[in-house]
Chain A
Amino acid sequence: MARTDIEDIEVELFQRALLARHGYDFGGYAPASFRRRVLNLASSLGCGSVGELTSRMLREDALLPNVIAGLSVPVSEMFRNPSTFRALRTEVFPILGSYPLINIWQAGCAFGQEVYSLAILLEEAGLYDRCQIYATDFSDAALARAQEGIFPARDARQYSENYLAAGGKRSLSDYCHARYDFMKLDDRLRRNVTFANHNLVCDGVFCEAHLILCRNVLIYFSDALQDHVLALFRDSLVRNGFLCLGNRENIDFAPAGRDFAAVDAAARIFRKNAGNG
């Protein structure tokens, strides 16, 4: 009993120290998964306790990128939940196609799996050249990886299956080169993609988007932070713009959720309500 209570205190102190020393605010994250990550981070950095991690983080500035990378856990997949990508292709792309220029914001892009997925489907729909895609994350380490577009070859089979299930028209291998243990996505897929650091907790509106894709990021946020970010998305979207969330996300508890109407509830695709500018 005592042991765990100490851990609770340590996690809270760690969070406060990270804010005070480095300006990163994790106060709005859902406690259970945040706690797990902090404990994992401490052990992966060889710290015997979260307290030790806190004191190292306070003194060793060089540790900060590792801390952020460890707390970010950029776990993703290409075409994760293929049915969602299929729905984007069939329900959203035709409407995007009516705009001369299309802005897409992918928030929480992890290692870029989703942004390359999106790029491929946009190419196949003949829309890519009209698109500007912003892929953002708050982890520089993740962004650097995303920019490379290199993934382990052992994931290739899963990605290919997902691609076909998402309604891909060719073969995923047409878009990448196999190199030993890795697959590298075609550089051309990145020609209209801008990778940038953006922290959903504290950074604001930076574009007028027609589609925002932010999957499996808000699940880590408490109700209040989820609401804050949904309001940010609302304010970043053009009138009737689209928002796509992760397949098991629930926005019923956020007042800003009422500014969106479900277009395809199962695929978690929403549209900003007309009344909201």
Chain B
Amino acid sequence: MSAPRAIVIGCSAGGMRALKEVLSKLRSDVGAPILAVCHTGSEDVTTLCELIGASSTVPVREARERCRAHDNTVYIAPGGYHLLVEYGGRMSLSVDERVAFARPAIDVLFESAADVYGHELVGIVMTGANHDGAQGLLRIRQRRGIAIVQEPLDAEASAMPQAALDLAGADHCVPLRDIAPLLNRLCER
């Protein structure tokens, strides 16, 4: 397996702590952009970026439409917009209907990333109280990308990782503390 060209992460209830945990232990040279949807209900993700960025090994920014997603940088979907990736690795936004009651929706990000990166993509579903991300993870697996799901019993809210496992299954189902080490291994070049 070659090192991934992109990493996508989805989380909801309890997601901020989970993201913080993963990003504080990530190697700073993952060699891929990291795109994340974290449902917060707030329009403004600046604070979220700052909170997570404070302990992250890589810079954390709000995703800006039309900009390229650079390696070793985390991009958080802005509130109220779906985040998508285009061929060539630039980011785009949409205000299409909510998916699984959410906008941004994890499914939308995951499906577009799966189309662009195919088997060179890692998708991670973590804690959350709904079922967003399951459909997206399924698409990632159909395109032979790698699916990581946080162990539902380990998650602050188990519904989302459980829904992902039920629909898509996973290549790795691990507790939160093992996600960063796993990613670090997958990203070894």
Contacts and interface: CB of A to CB of B under 8 A. Distances in A.
Contacts of B97: 73, 75
Given A30-B92, A32-B112, A36-B96, A252 B66 contact: yes
Interface string A54-98: 000000000000000000010100000100000000000000000
Give the interface residue-count category, chain A: 20 to 34
Interface in A230-270: 246-250, 252-253
Q: Which of B92, B108, B114 has the most CB of A within 10 A?
A: B92
Interface string A7-49: 0100000000000000000000011110111000000000000
B47 to A, nearest CB: 15
A75 B143 contact: no
B96 A37 contact: yes
Interface residues of B, number: 30
B86 A30 contact: yes
Interface stretch (A139-147, A153-161, A215-223): A215-223
Nearest to A216: B95
Contacts of B86: 30-32
Contacts of B144: 1
Given A75-B97, A223-B66, A250-B66, A32 B142 contact: no
Given A3-B142, A32-B84, 9 more contacts: A4-B115, A4-B142, A33-B92, A36-B96, A75-B95, A75-B97, A248-B65, A248-B80, A252-B66
Interface of B: 43, 64-67, 78, 80-82, 84-87, 92-97, 108, 111-112, 114-116, 118-119, 142-144
